[in-house]
């Protein structure tokens, strides 16, 4: 059996679709979404995500648990249309920028929330995130939120308030943090968004976001 090409120490027993070679279990586990850009269909990536999610349900992050207390039980139902629109925009951006990772989306949500807070204070200032991929997503989501907050001349569509947009962004930030991992190339959250909110996905009755 050939040695793992990543470490040259152990036999390669797991097929890595990202590298298109057989690698060892140790490198698969330690380099997954750290040095390796793992594709969503990889069975080992799926298994690790299921394990992480079960562990997080048993031992919730206390910091995230505190953040969640800001939102009442009816928050998702009241705001699911705005959240679904944002998530669909993220899924569309991901088609043009497959290198996006969870931390990119999280930082864009945070930057948009800061920007919206300046708008509510009357002193508008765009708090742009760093990097062209993040800036592109920022502008896409900003244009979407601007459209949602624009009054409908016919009065047929509900206008989203600035305060509501801030709450939605804060909620999505918590949801993304809860559904990601500490690995720098984690796409657990953005893969979920792409699966649930792509154009070909079945219509959703609610956002279905998982929070602690």
Apex CA 182: angle with CA 96 and CA 67, to 5°? 95
Report pLDDT for 55: 86
pLDDT(167) > 50: yes
Contact 197, 203 (CB under 8 A): no
The confidence score (pLDDT) of residue 105 equals: 98
User: Which has the closest alpha carbon to 142: 121, 127, 159, 158?
Assistant: 127
**Across 178-189, average pLDDT:** 93
Identify the bridge partners of residue 16 per DSSP, sorted by sequence position.
21
For residues 93 and 28, give the distance between their C-alpha atoms in angstroms, rounded to a whole number: 28
CA distances from 157 to 86, 149, 152, 154 (A): 17, 10, 6, 8
Mean local confidence (pLDDT), 75-100: 94
Q: What is the pLDDT of residues 132-151, one digit of tens each?
A: 999 999 999 999 999 999 98
Considering the entire predicted model, what is its pTM? 0.88
For residues 33 and 64, the model is more confident at: 33
Q: Average pLDDT in the 29-58 region?
A: 93
Element (H, E) at 23: strand 21-23
* Segment 101-123, tens digit of pLDDT: 999 999 999 999 999 999 888 88
């Amino acid at each position: 059996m050939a040695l793992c090409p990543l470490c040259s120490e152990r036999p390669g027993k797991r097929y890595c679709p990202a590298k298109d070679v057989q690698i060892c279990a140790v490198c698969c586990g330690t380099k997954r979404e750290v040095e390796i850009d793992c594709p969503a269909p990889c069975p080992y990536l799926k298994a690790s995500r299921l394990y992480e999610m079960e562990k997080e349900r048993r031992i919730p992050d206390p910091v995230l648990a505190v953040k969640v207390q800001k939102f009442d039980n009816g928050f998702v139902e009241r705001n699911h249309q705005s959240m679904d629109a944002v998530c669909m925009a993220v899924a569309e951006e991901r088609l043009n920028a497959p290198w996006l990772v969870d931390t990119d989306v999280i930082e864009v949500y945070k930057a948009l929330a800061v920007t919206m807070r300046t708008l509510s204070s009357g002193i508008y200032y765009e708090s742009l995130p760093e990097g062209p991929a993040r800036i592109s997503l920022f502008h896409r989501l900003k244009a979407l939120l601007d459209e949602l907050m624009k009054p409908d001349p016919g009065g047929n569509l509900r206008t989203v308030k600035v305060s509501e947009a801030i709450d939605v962004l804060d909620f999505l930030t918590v949801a993304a943090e809860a559904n990601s991992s500490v690995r720098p190339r984690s796409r657990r959250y953005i893969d979920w968004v792409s699966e649930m909110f792509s154009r070909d996905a079945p219509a959703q009755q609610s956002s279905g976001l998982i929070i602690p």
